[in-house]
Amino acid sequence: MTETTKNPSLVIGLMSGTSLDGVDAVLVDCSSSVPRLLASAWLPYPPLLRTQAARLQASGADELNLAARLANELAQKYAEATQQLLGMAGVSPQAVAAIGCHGQTVRHRPEAGYSIQLNNPALLAELTGITVVADFRSRDIAAGGQGAPLVPAFHAAVFGDPGLHRIILNIGGMANLTDLQPRRPPRGFDCGPGNVLLDAWMERNTGKRYDADGCWATRGYVQPALLEQLLAHPFFQQEPPRSCGRDEFNLAWLTSYLEAALRPEDVQATLLELTASSIAEAITHWCGIPDELLVCGGGVHNLALMERLRVLLPVRRIASTDFLGQPPDWVEASAFAWLAWRTVHRLPGNLPAATGARGPRILGAIYPA
């Protein structure tokens, strides 16, 4: 039976991250202090869309036209993911208060005053008949912040514990963390590359989209000289608040350090160590060793990466966010559902300690149904 009466607490979150793999869609009930996941769906990107989005990571000919056309295509995919999600949940569009749609990041340049997430939220509202909240990052940047990371405010609301020092680690295309310490304000920042280089190098050399369980990386050997060069990137020396994206960490940057004699699997092993060691260093240096490290995002499925984190960090418990009833694959999409709910209710969504903004701000632009 399909639910048709509008529920002001039912919100959809749509997230398509730097991995360029597809759209995560969730239906969330925000009626209580801890949002509750009701349903989830995933829609893969077709190869051409992925290619076009990757192309727009750098300046090129006719990019304004290409960006506008891709934004329209993305809106179609977001609408398709929404319809798939609602069908699975047995909920009608009329019952949903809003869609929080992050859009597809193609540039993240907060130092230049902008971050671009491709989307056509007006078209998405037309296609779904649901109010859309989009463009979450611009207001934080306008207030002097970096527009990222935005999920720490959600992490604080969902995972905070007054008796535990807990860190929430999201390993998506990039890796970011939220530091939740008792009697201290929550904060968060980006650690560096998460899966972005691992996935790109895997696809270039094997044709596979990702390194399942980190198996290919375990066949190689870490190259200390290469790792030292990669860790010399200025980002790793920056003091939080800080954020990063494909603008800093991409295949062109990686290949500028590669020698012809290196085996591809040795490069993969080194990239896995880059992700693990930069996360461990960020935690150790800026947060201190927590009681618990809870991991979400696609990186939680990389068994080799998780094992390296356990070796590098003497934490009592390193586990998936499933430990607290939050499925790790859907945490980020749920965060944007929650952020949309806050926008609709005129509540701030950023965490200035994470983004560096001058203060709390109501995020996003609203496109009524």
Are 71 and 112 members of one domain? yes
Which residue matches tokens 């192309």?
Answer: 55
pLDDT at residue 266 tops 60: yes
User: Could you tell me if residue 322 is inside a domain?
Assistant: no
Query: How many other C-beta atoms can be found within 10 angstroms of the C-beta atom of residue 218?
Result: 16
3-state secondary structure of 98: strand
Alpha-carbon distance of 211 to 22, in angstroms, equals: 17
Are 292 and 346 members of one domain? no
Q: What backbone phi and psi angles, to 5 degrees, belong to 163? A: -110, 0
160: Cβ–Cβ under 8 A, 6 or more apart, which residues?
166, 180, 186
3-state secondary structure of 38: strand
Alpha-carbon distance of 267 to 76, in angstroms, equals: 37
Q: Which two tokens stand for residue 95?
A: 């019952």
User: Could you tell me if residue 164 is inside a domain?
Assistant: yes
CA-atom Rg of the chain in angstroms? 20
Q: What backbone phi and psi angles, to 5 degrees, belong to 129? A: 70, 20
The pTM score is 0.94
pLDDT at residue 292 tops 70: yes
How many residues would you count in the chain?
369
pLDDT at residue 367 tops 90: yes
Confidence class for position 7, pLDDT limits 50, 70, 90: confident
Confidence class for position 3, pLDDT limits 50, 70, 90: low
User: Could you tell me if residue 256 is inside a domain?
Assistant: yes
Are 230 and 357 members of one domain? no
Are 175 and 306 members of one domain? yes
Confidence class for position 8, pLDDT limits 50, 70, 90: confident
Residue range 334-359: mean pLDDT, rounded: 97
Are 194 and 65 members of one domain? no
Return the amino acid letter for 325.
Answer: G
pLDDT of residue 20: 85
Q: Measured on CA atoms in the order 151, 156, 160, 165, is the torsion positive or negative? A: positive
pLDDT tens track for 75-104: 999 999 999 999 999 999 999 999 999 999
User: Could you tell me if residue 236 is inside a domain?
Assistant: yes
Are 175 and 296 members of one domain? yes
Nearest to 140 by CA among 367, 366, 333, 361: 361
Residue range 128-139: mean pLDDT, rounded: 98
pLDDT tens track for 147-183: 999 999 999 999 999 999 999 999 999 999 999 999 9
Which residue matches tokens 């609408």?
Answer: 79
Q: Tell me if 116 sits within 8 A of 54, measured CB to CB.
A: no
Return the amino acid letter for 76.
Answer: Q
Are 310 and 348 members of one domain? no
pLDDT of residue 193: 97
pLDDT at residue 12 tops 70: yes
Q: Tell me if 329 sits within 8 A of 22, measured CB to CB.
A: no
Q: Tell me if 107 sits within 8 A of 319, measured CB to CB.
A: no
pLDDT at residue 5 tops 80: no
Are 245 and 275 members of one domain? yes
Are 104 and 71 members of one domain? yes
Q: Tell me if 267 sits within 8 A of 259, measured CB to CB.
A: no
Are 114 and 205 members of one domain? no
Are 113 and 15 members of one domain? yes
Residue range of the domain that includes 106 = 7-147+330-367
pLDDT of residue 58: 85
Tell me the average pLDDT of the chain: 95
pLDDT of residue 135: 98
pLDDT at residue 124 tops 70: yes
Q: Which two tokens stand for residue 282?
A: 């960020």
Residue range 247-252: mean pLDDT, rounded: 94
Are 25 and 142 members of one domain? yes
pLDDT at residue 1 tops 50: no
Question: Looking at beta carbons, which pairs linking 215-218 to residues 24 or more positions away fall under 8 Å?
Answer: 215/304, 216/265, 216/268, 217/265, 217/268, 217/269, 217/271, 217/272, 217/304, 218/269, 218/304
Confidence class for position 57, pLDDT limits 50, 70, 90: confident
Buried b (16+ CB within 10 A) or exposed e, 69-80: ebbebbbebbbb
User: Could you tell me if residue 131 is inside a domain?
Assistant: yes
pLDDT of residue 4: 65
269: Cβ–Cβ under 8 A, 6 or more apart, which residues?
217, 218, 219, 220, 221, 222, 223
User: Could you tell me if residue 66 is inside a domain?
Assistant: yes
Which residue matches tokens 């899966």?
Answer: 195
Confidence class for position 118, pLDDT limits 50, 70, 90: very high
- What is the CATH number for 299? 3.30.420.40
Question: What's the number of domains the chain is made of?
Answer: 2
pLDDT of residue 42: 97
Nearest to 253 by CA among 272, 273, 231, 269: 231
Q: What backbone phi and psi angles, to 5 degrees, belong to 201? A: -70, -40
